[in-house]
Amino acid sequence: SQQGEEDPQALSIQEGENATMNCSYKTSINNLQWYRQNSGRGLVHLILIRSNEREKHSGRLRVTLDTSKKSSSLLITASRAADTASYFCATDADQGAQKLVFGQGTRLTINP
Amino acid sequence: SAVISQKPSRDICQRGTSLTIQCQVDSQVTMMFWYRQQPGQSLTLIATANQGSEATYESGFVIDKFPISRPNLTFSTLTVSNMSPEDSSIYLCSVSGIMNTEAFFGQGTRLTVV
């Protein structure tokens, strides 16, 4: 079963605006990761945040993690048309395991 | 990092037939993972493939329907057997880095069963 819940399921914004996506999970984790998927292709890793971290940045991406609320957010700043994709959070299914449990995903559309 | 070559990239198959998907990794890895992504849905883990032992299947997936081979540390196949339209999905193979690092994915196989 899917551990993660993401919201919103779909998000449409104008180019240049910021996009925020949220993810919640149910069990203890070692880390949480965010992935991007373009047009039903393979997933591309964006960023990993460990359970003892609260915030992490990578370029235009900012990820937060609140382990007390079992939630994470992904912020994409100054969005571009090329950011149009589906975004998934993923957690390690069992602490220490390599297999991942994915959230339902957010489909992001950037309008030019 | 790991580069994964997955094929075929897409196929249209008749119901009742089987399709074998291949996944080749450019480095040796202990575990390989097979996921299914139904239309408009997220990824669901089918099984974990270990070299030299039987694959470990997740709840709801069985070996008779999704037999997996793992002949060496760089290669695996997933077969979708006796296909029905409900098997139409994207199938992805994946490997992980060492603990606490990112996962790498093949480009996926888009399967349509008619």
Q: What is the C-alpha to C-alpha distance for residues B5 and A55, in angstroms, rounded to an integer? A: 33
Q: How many CB pairs under 8 A join A and B?
A: 62
**Other beta carbons within 10 Å of A5:** 15
**Cα separation of A32 and B100, whole Å?**
9
Distances (CA, A) of A33 to A16, A51, A69, B2, B97: 24, 11, 16, 17, 13
One-letter amino acid identity for A86? Answer: S
User: Residue A52 and residue A66: Cα distance in Å, rounded?
Assistant: 10
Confidence grade of residue A4 (pLDDT, cut at 50, 70, 90): low
**Interval A68-88 mean pLDDT:** 97
Determine contact: A3 vs chain B, CB below 8 A. Answer: no
Look at residue A2 in the predicted model and tell me its pLDDT.
43
Q: Do A50 and B45 touch (CB under 8 A)?
A: no
Chain A positions touching B37 (Cβ under 8 A) are: 40
Task: Using pLDDT thresholds of 50, 70 and 90, give the confidence band for residue A47.
Answer: very high
Given a contact cutoff of 8 angstroms between Cβ atoms, the answer to whether B66 and B59 are in contact is no
Who among A41, A96, A102 is closest to B42 (CB)? A102
Tell me the pLDDT tens digit for each residue of B15-40: 999 999 999 999 999 889 999 999 99
Of A2, A42, A45, the CB nearest to B108: A42
